[in-house]
A and B are shown apart, each in its own frame.
Chain A
Amino acid sequence: MAAEEVPRRPPSPPGWLRIRARVRNPGRKAVIGAGLAAYSWIAAGTVPFSRNALLIVLIPGLVLAAIAYGRPPQRIPPPERMDVAGFSYWAICIAALFEWEASAFKDSSLWWHPALTTLIDPMLGARPVKAAAILIWLLTGWALVRR
């Protein structure tokens, strides 16, 4: 499957729907960066399992979905072909990571088989660390929309 030649997606949507992927204005870039940092900081202060904690994840999801659907940025074209072995390395590693996490999660994350979540949670207890993690997550979401 991986090595099949598959037609590329249309290069870009009509011009009036397109927004520039690169923010050329440095001032605007700084404002967006500050906004994302502020959002991350506020989001990091929410109490887990609360309504606000759910909203801080759903809001970026909805915003990115709206951008991806209504005003998609200029996308980075995917590779035309991909080496089967190269594709498989990533697929196997990511599947193994999910399996390793799922097996721990299924066992209710027992002490002797902790889930990655259980290991990472103490680190996310510090607000600056959690804010940085949320910021990285937001930027990852934007990078995915551009792909």
Chain B
Amino acid sequence: MMTRVITIIGFAGLILVLFVLEFLGRRKDSRIPTLGEWLGYVMRSWAGRLVVLLGWLWLGWHYFSR
């Protein structure tokens, strides 16, 4: 029971941190980028773009097709 709770707290905590990062990134003069900026930076190269877009496709398949 405890392990299951820890796993769920882990997921919730990580997702919460993502929201906090986005919030911090939107502050003026923040050193932390927003998720959009971060993805844009990763996608400057074709390889990065391909990985991100395949990741998006995989998410759709993983959650909506299966």
Chain A residues in the interface with B (C-beta under 8 A): 2, 6, 8-9, 43-44, 48-49, 53-54, 56-57, 60-61, 64-65, 68, 76-79, 82-83, 85-87, 89-90, 93-94, 96-97, 100-101, 104, 111-114, 116-117, 119-120, 124, 130, 133-134, 137, 140-141, 143-145, 147
B25 CB to nearest A CB, Å: 8
A93 touches B21 (CB 8 A): yes
* Docked CA distance A78–B42 (Å): 9
Total interface residues in chain B, CB < 8 Å: 38
Residues of B within 8 A of A (CB): 1, 3-4, 7-8, 10-11, 14-15, 17-18, 21, 25, 30-33, 35-41, 43-44, 52-53, 56-57, 59-66
Nearest chain B CB to A122 CB, angstrom units: 13
- Chain B residues in 8 Å Cβ range of A94: 18
* A49–B3 CA distance with the chains assembled, in angstroms: 30
Question: A53-B64, A97-B14, A144-B56 known; A82 and B7 CB under 8 Å?
Answer: no
With A96-B14, A100-B14, A112-B4 given, is the CB distance from A147 to B32 under 8 Å?
no
B59 adjacent to A137 (CB under 8 Å): yes
Within 8 Å CB of B61, what residues of A?
54, 57
Given contacts A78-B40, A141-B56, contact A54 B65 (CB under 8 A): yes
Contacts of B33 in A (CB 8 A): 79, 82-83, 86-87, 90
Q: In the complex, are the beta carbons of A48 and B41 less than 8 A apart?
A: no
